[in-house]
Structure 1
Amino acid sequence: MKLFYMPGACSLAPHIIANEAGIDLDLVRVDGKSKKTEQGQDFLATNPNGYVPALVLPDGELMTEASVVVQYLADQKPETGLMPKPGEIARYRVQQWLAFVATELHKVFGSFFKPDTPEATKEINRAHLSRRLAYVDQKLDGRSYLMGDTFTAADAYLWTVLGWAKFIGFDLSPFANIQRYLGTVAARPAVQKTLRAEGLA
């Protein structure tokens, strides 16, 4: 399988899951501005939407959307527990978290990276993030990960998105459980391996 990525973007989450699961990926770095791969190919020919992650399966099928790609990769190695088994309530809880990260956090953080976002919108979004992160912080109380002691695909996605706070100057210091969580996830060997591979460590 081939993963198109941009260092530190949401493609970091499926990259982490692949390393957690022991799945070898062919990595193709994409430049976010030019939409060219490191080999000079037109990334828009692979994904017309122009964003990562884009996972090309062995049969040539294209899969996009971070919340879906992490699930697909986790399901390739069900014994890892990165995604609970179909039919189990725990699976729907992980999917619930993936949807929450995608809709309540990812998109809101994303607005800060767009140069045409009005300052008034950014202020509204900061308030929104504060409320949503207070909820996450509460849910992490007494837990190593979102599901308790088990690291799942949702943690890879949440950890990736939370890492963007420093780039927009969003202060996470009021959220003690989130700060602890960030350190816990960062210490995982597969996460460190991924950061090194993307030149982020």
Structure 2
Amino acid sequence: MKLYFSPGACSLASHIVAREAGLDLELDEVGLGDKQTASGKDFRAINPKGCVPALELDNGELLTEGPAIMQYLADRNPASGLAPAYDSLARYRLQEMLGFISTEVHKRYSPLFNPASPESVRADSVAALQRQYALLDKRLADHEWLVGDQFTAADAYLFTTTNWAAHIGFDLSAFPAVLAHQKRVGARPAVHAALVAEGLIKP
């Protein structure tokens, strides 16, 4: 399998899940500006959506959208516990949390990365993030992980998006449980390996 990624982007979550699952994964970096891959291809010809992550399967098919990719990768190694069993309530709790992070956390950061965003839009995004992190902080104050009693794809996704806070000056000091979660996830060997592989930290 090949993962098309950009360092530190939302594709990092899929990269983490693959490493946590012990999967062999080829990486092909995509330039966010020119949409060229490190292998010399036009990423838009591979994925017309133009967004990472995209996962090229062994049969040549392409899977897109982070939450779908993370669940697919997790299911390659069910024993990893990265995604609960099919048709269990815990599986739907994972999907619930992935959906929440995708729509209410991930997308709220987008205007904050765009210097052309009107101040009113930026203010709305900051206020929304504060509300959502307050909910997450309450959850993580009582639970080590977001779903069930072990690390799942949802934790990888929250870690990835929350890492963006420092880049846009979003203050997380009011959310100590979220910060503690970031530290727990960042200390995992597979997460550390993914960060090193993407050039985000030194070995």
Q: TM-score range by the shorter chain?
A: over 0.9
Give the corresponding residue for 1:172.
Answer: 172
In the alignment, structure 1 residue 135 sits paired with structure 2 residue 135? yes
Q: Tell me the TM-score normalized by structure 1.
A: 0.97
Residue 180 of structure 1: how far off its partner (Å): 0.5
Aligned residues: 201
SS of 1:27's partner is strand
> In structure 1, what is the Cα distance between the partners aligned to 2:129 and 2:75?
30
5+ residue gaps, structure 2, are none
In the alignment, structure 1 residue 14 sits paired with structure 2 residue 24? no
Give the corresponding residue for 1:24.
Answer: 24
Task: Within 5 Å, give how 1:57-68 maps onto structure 2.
Answer: 57-68=57-68
SS of 2:37's partner is coil
TM-align CA RMSD? 0.9
Give the corresponding residue for 1:156.
Answer: 156
Give the corresponding residue for 2:100.
Answer: 100
Structure 1 residue runs of 4 or more that deviate by more than 4 Å after TM superposition: none
Residue 49 of structure 1: how far off its partner (Å): 1.4
> In structure 2, what is the Cα distance between the partners aligned to 1:39 and 1:114?
28
5+ residue gaps, structure 1, are none
Q: Tell me the TM-score normalized by structure 2.
A: 0.97
Letter in 1 for 2:10: C
Give the corresponding residue for 1:46.
Answer: 46
SS of 2:3's partner is strand
Give the corresponding residue for 1:109.
Answer: 109
* CA deviation string 1:89-136 (max 9, x = no partner): 111111100000000011111221223321110001100110110000
Letter in 2 for 1:123: A
CA contact (8 A) 2:90 2:148 kept: no
> In structure 2, what is the Cα distance between the partners aligned to 1:81 and 1:40?
36
In the alignment, structure 1 residue 82 sits paired with structure 2 residue 82? yes
